[in-house]
Amino acid sequence: MILIDKLCYQSKLRYVNATEKFVYAVLSLVFCIVSRSAAAAVLVFLANGILTVGKGKIPLSHYIKLLLVPAAFLLLGTAAMLIDLSRAPMDAFAFRIGEWYLTGSTASLTRVCRLWITALSAVTCLYFLSLNTTMTDILEVLRKMRLPTLLIELMMLIYRFIFLLLETASAIMTAQESRLGNRDYRTKVRSFGAMASALFVQSMRRSDALYDALESRCYDGTIRVLSQERPAKKKEIVGIALFESLLLLITIWSIIE
């Protein structure tokens, strides 16, 4: 099982109304991106951290490890916006390389920091939803929003096959390791090619078996999944409304400025 999915089933917020969590995550994401405000980004980042780690009881170590991946990607992606090669030094920093300077301006540093925290806060919105809401609940919310049935079923089948492919790949890699299939670089390359081809064949067989199973259960083009209705609590609705109203005010203020 994928780590995010495993943590989701352990979350204390798992049984909170899925529509509430979906609305909160999406609205926070929209306000965070539209406002481009550092205050809104920091507020969303802290709120998602408190809800996910404090209320959801997701281990802090796992949460930090999950955040390090997009954080490292953002650092590498924004480095090109910050660093410039010029003959004249800028006001933020400058490192002399012969007749040139590896330099950056204060304005670009401020812009990069704002972009970095905004993007990272947007990622925490998605982490909040995925770490505290099961995939079946998310799909049920999308179904209530009248999204195309075909799109929802494709998402469900893709989600199912992620686990099947991971399980099959893990079994093949274990078999290769037991037969010294990774003892040197050439063998590793050959083993990886063999695994990829075997994985393709196995995925085709699994897909045929899945379709046969659906047909044997009177599949008529729609996959129906039982869902449990969890009523929304007034306290949670009020809390979400107040938080999103605050983000709306920050967004309006940032646009006016």
> By percentage, how much of the chain surpasses pLDDT 90?
26
For the stretch 234-243, pLDDT in tens is 999 999 999 9
C-alpha span between 159 and 5 (Å, rounded) = 11
Token couple for 171: 């079994």
CA atoms within 13 A on the CB side of 52: 30
Sign of CA dihedral 27, 32, 33, 36: positive
Q: What is the dihedral of CA 156, 59, 71, 106, to 10 degrees?
A: 140
User: In the chain, which residue ranges form alpha helices assigned H by DSSP?
Assistant: 3-10, 18-35, 38-49, 60-82, 106-132, 135-144, 149-178, 185-216, 234-256
Token couple for 191: 């083993």
Output the CA angle 76-77-81, nearest 5 degrees: 110
Which of the pair, 224 or 7, is modelled with greater confidence?
Answer: 7
Q: What is the pTM of this model?
A: 0.80
For the stretch 47-73, pLDDT in tens is 999 999 999 999 999 999 999 988 888
For the stretch 11-25, pLDDT in tens is 999 888 999 999 999
Tell me which long-range contacts 70-77 makes (C-beta under 8 A, separation of at least 24).
Answer: 70/119, 70/120, 70/123, 71/120, 74/116, 74/119, 74/120, 75/116
C-alpha span between 236 and 19 (Å, rounded) = 11
Using an 8 Å Cβ cutoff, are 49 and 57 in contact? no
pLDDT at 4 over 90: no
pLDDT at 1: 54
For the stretch 126-183, pLDDT in tens is 999 999 998 888 888 888 888 888 888 888 878 877 777 777 787 888 887 887 767 7
Indicate the average pLDDT of the chain.
84
What is residue 52's three-state secondary structure?
helix
Give the rounded distance of the alpha carbon of 162 from its chain centre: 15
